[in-house]
Structure 1
């Protein structure tokens, strides 16, 4: 199962309608708070809507209630963010892929928290490929192993440790290759790399590693 979710981040950071519509037709959509209305604007009716909906007007809430099959509301004062509630719901469905839109924007606290929720997905369901996508970036998180990355129109690739240490990092096919390097939390060694071949690989032995693919 493929699940995609839309949070309430700024619309100008969300990829084009063509990108969203390029997902498989059987993708299950989750609207998160005001992101549900964003999906309506894109011509997508989500299967689920989740959140406290504190940023939604009464008539907008009625529209959501009338169109969404499963509506899960929460109190505004709660321990989890709306994004975490939506990810919990998604993980209950055991997806093979999870795409997250509308998760970046001006609020750095929200953006950072949303990024670290990728670690939650990786730990609780290691077989689920999860990615945050906006107009300029694609953010994903990996556990130990070897992975292939294809060259694309998004040229810059950075690797950032999310654990105190990532061991045995090796990059092949990159402008700046590495072999069996240990990098530590806070290191900028692997920022702004590029592929010089149609495909490259990255591998590491232990830790959790974030990959960010960015436009200029």
Structure 2
């Protein structure tokens, strides 16, 4: 089973960026409820304090977990806690990149510390973590790699290759690389990195 956690800002057409499966469990976070309603995508769980949702009547027909607005975690964090309880094969956050509240996007990036298997996607980007592993990526846009912890990495098949390079946190060296072969090889020998795939038409 796969859990999709849909978060504002929600892509305008979710079905264009991800093929929905019959057994997907879909969690709508706060105002994402309205976006999913408009896109006619079923909601298994609505979660949040709903301070950003203007049409609360929508909640009357849904399975709702109402959160206290005074809390120590974000709505998105709590949604991932609920997703973990289902023991899914994977969980994907749809949306949550950009928006008017940049601090929320920054908080989403911090979620990888607790949920390393998380993937965040929208219609332009995909973000995921790699830790002590080899990964083959086939992508025609920009591939950026940032150290989540200090990491030792090798990049092959890229415009800017690296060989056993110590990528430290806050080092921007890995931004906006490109694959020059059919695919690129990312080897994380030590540590953790965030990989950001971004379309060229941004």
TM-score normalised by the chain length of structure 1? 0.86
The one-character-per-residue Cα deviations of 1:71-97 (angstroms, maximum 9, x if unpaired) are 111111111110101011111112222
Please give the residue correspondences for 1:144-183 in structure 2 after superposition, counting only pairs within 5 Å. Answer: 144-152=132-140, 155-163=141-149, 165-167=150-152, 169-183=153-167
SS of the equivalent of 1:116 reads helix
Q: How many residues align?
A: 199
Any gaps of 5 or more consecutive residues in structure 2? none
Match of 2:128 in 1: 140
Match of 2:191 in 1: 207
The one-character-per-residue Cα deviations of 1:100-132 (angstroms, maximum 9, x if unpaired) are 12312121111010111122111xxxxx4x211
Q: CA RMSD in A?
A: 1.6
Match of 1:99 in 2: 92
SS of the equivalent of 1:194 reads coil
Match of 2:46 in 1: 49
- Whether the 8 Å CA contact 2:155–2:184 is kept in 1: the answer is yes
| In 2: Cα distance, 1:94 partner to 1:20 partner | 24
- Whether the 8 Å CA contact 1:8–1:35 is kept in 2: the answer is yes
| In 1: Cα distance, 2:60 partner to 2:17 partner | 23
| In 1: Cα distance, 2:44 partner to 2:191 partner | 35
How far off is 1:175 after superposition? Answer: 1.2
| In 2: Cα distance, 1:15 partner to 1:193 partner | 28
Structure 1: 4+ residue segments shifted above 6 A: none
